Amino acid sequence: TWSAVPAGPPDPILGVTEAFKADKDPRKINLGVGAYRDENGKPYVLGSVKKAEEILTASKPDKEYLPITGLPEFTKKAALLAYGAESAPLNSGSIAVTQSISGTGALRIGGAFLARHYPHSKVVYLPVPSWGNHTPIFRDSGLEVRGYRYFDKGTVGLDFVGLKADLQAAPEHSIVLLHACAHNPTGVDPTQEQWAQISDIVKEKKLMPFFDMAYQGFASGSTDRDAFAVRHFVSQGHQIALAQSFAKNMGLYGERVGAFSLITSDAAEKARVDSQLKIVIRPMYSNPPLHGAQIANTILGDKLLYSQWEGEVKGMADRIISMREKLYGTLTHDLKTPGEWGHIKSQIGMFSFTGLTSAQTKALAEKAHIYMTADGRISMAGLNTSNIEYFAQSVDAAVRG
């Protein structure tokens, strides 16, 4: 029956972990997948998460189904975290929110909802490059995927001229996907001034902004600062779509906690959108998982736990920033590695887009047992004081050939 099914390629990001696992060398380093690791290279369960789980266990919760759109207390707090207490549409009750299966599920619900109900366009523009899963998510949602210029290889920074030109040239009403902060894979974000200009173009061209916020708090260490772009767009009257993930900022990767929201014109429109979100979700997975949403809800709803969590997010962001500084210093000052490495320090969030070529990344895997994606992206969180010297020396050797 399945003889005509062709073998598919491995996932370009998760495939790196497979290669890493198969390597038996004790010096091996996995800088592929974007998952936080502590100073000892181990997965990190936040103290605030552990405490929330204790509180939950003590309350002896049942295992009933959640409603189709998830735990209402949680989605309310998730929206507050993203939009902020001052948000006009939040305070007027015109934001439709549903819990989602983490950020991926939020993007997929949004893609499916827009494909079915957005009346003006079936085209979504993604930054080039973007997170590898964006294209299949939106294509499988029934949208046509196109790209807008984002990264300038020459400056290893934002191609702001190209970005503006491509958004200006897009057909009116097209959907445009924006990474709210800590762009994956480049680590390059627009400045606040550039965000304001992007907002103006989006308004002029009547584009539909769809924010992917997978790293709120992870970029700067502050959840408010990282929400700047989202809140600025909302303050300018844009009716944005928003995918939120709690995978990175609460370390809840496998719990699959997220939210999708859509700003509507008023409470009556919101109620109609809510009803259609349920109709999109019900045949996909019926209702979302319970436990992770309860954890996030407990943290977001408890003053003490909330401030502990904020400290822990900042701790993760700060450790990554210190690894950037250490790596930059080792390459430029200690090893005098050929090339310009300033971007290691200036890039933001979980990743650094090193500029290493695919031949160099291959050599690093084969000779030094160091694994990263073929585009030269490294997860900064995989570095720590025990392995960073070895990593820098290996990069130096790879660059010198």
CB 32 within 8 A of CB 17: yes
Out of 32, 34, 187, 217, which residue is the one contacting ligand PLP (CB under 6 A)? 34
In the complex, minimum distance from the CB of residue 163 to ligand PLP, in angstroms, rounded to a whole number? 17
The per-type count for the chain, helices as H runs and strands as E runs, is 16, 13
- The residue (of 33 and 163) whose beta carbon lies closer to ligand TYF is 33
352 sits near ligand PLP (criterion: CB under 6 A): no
103 sits near ligand PLP (criterion: CB under 6 A): yes
- Tell me the backbone φ, ψ of residue 19, rounded to 5 degrees: -65, -40
> Residue 78: which of 232, 295, 258 has the closest Cα?
258
102 sits near ligand PLP (criterion: CB under 6 A): yes
The pair of three-digit structure tokens given for residue 355, joined into one six-digit string = 């500029």
Sign of CA dihedral 180, 181, 183, 189: positive
In the complex, minimum distance from the CB of residue 391 to ligand TYF, in angstroms, rounded to a whole number? 18
CA distances (Å), origin 387, targets 22, 36, 332, 370: 19, 15, 17, 10
Chain residues 163-192 in contact with ligand PLP, contact rule CB under 6 A: 179, 184
Annotated active-site residue 164? The verdict is no
What three-state secondary structure class fits 70? coil
Chain residues 166-205 in contact with ligand TYF, contact rule CB under 6 A: 184
From 99-107, 198-206, 293-301, 374-382, span contacting ligand PLP (CB under 6 A): 99-107
159 sits near ligand PLP (criterion: CB under 6 A): no
> Residue 136: which of 280, 282, 8, 287 has the closest Cα?
8
- The residue (of 309 and 328) whose beta carbon lies closer to ligand PLP is 309
From 20-28, 89-97, 98-106, 151-159, span contacting ligand PLP (CB under 6 A): 98-106
In the complex, minimum distance from the CB of residue 248 to ligand TYF, in angstroms, rounded to a whole number? 9
Annotated active-site residue 248? The verdict is yes
Q: Is the peptide bond before 185 cis (omega within 30 degrees of 0)?
A: yes
245 sits near ligand PLP (criterion: CB under 6 A): yes
d(CA 327, CA 286): 46
- The residue (of 348 and 399) whose beta carbon lies closer to ligand PLP is 348
- The residue (of 262 and 381) whose beta carbon lies closer to ligand PLP is 381
b/e 28-41 (16+ beta carbons within 10 angstroms → b): bbbbbbbbbbeeee
Strand-pairing partners, residue 210, are: 177, 241
347 sits near ligand TYF (criterion: CB under 6 A): no
Q: Spot the catalytic one: 77, 131, 166, 309.
A: 131
In the complex, minimum distance from the CB of residue 243 to ligand TYF, in angstroms, rounded to a whole number? 12
- Tell me the backbone φ, ψ of residue 377, rounded to 5 degrees: -80, 135
- The residue (of 184 and 298) whose beta carbon lies closer to ligand TYF is 184
Out of 87, 104, 264, 384, which residue is the one contacting ligand TYF (CB under 6 A)? 104
Out of 113, 118, 131, 148, which residue is the one contacting ligand TYF (CB under 6 A)? 131
Name 214's Cβ contacts closer than 8 Å, sequence gap at least 6: 103, 131, 179, 182, 184, 243, 244, 245, 247, 248
Strand pairing of 208-213 and 241-245?
parallel
74 sits near ligand PLP (criterion: CB under 6 A): no
What three-state secondary structure class fits 8? coil
Binding mask 21-50 for ligand TYF (x = CB under 6 A): ------------xx----------------
CB 148 within 8 A of CB 182: no
d(CA 135, CA 262): 21
Out of 48, 104, 379, 384, which residue is the one contacting ligand PLP (CB under 6 A)? 104
Judged by beta carbon distances under 5 to 8 A according to partner kind, the member of ligand TYF, ligand PLP, none in contact with residue 110 is none
Residues lying near ligand PLP in the complex (CB under 6 A) are found at 34, 102-104, 131, 179, 184, 212, 214, 245, 247, 253, 258
Residues lying near ligand TYF in the complex (CB under 6 A) are found at 13, 33-34, 104, 131, 184
- Active-site positions? 131, 212, 248
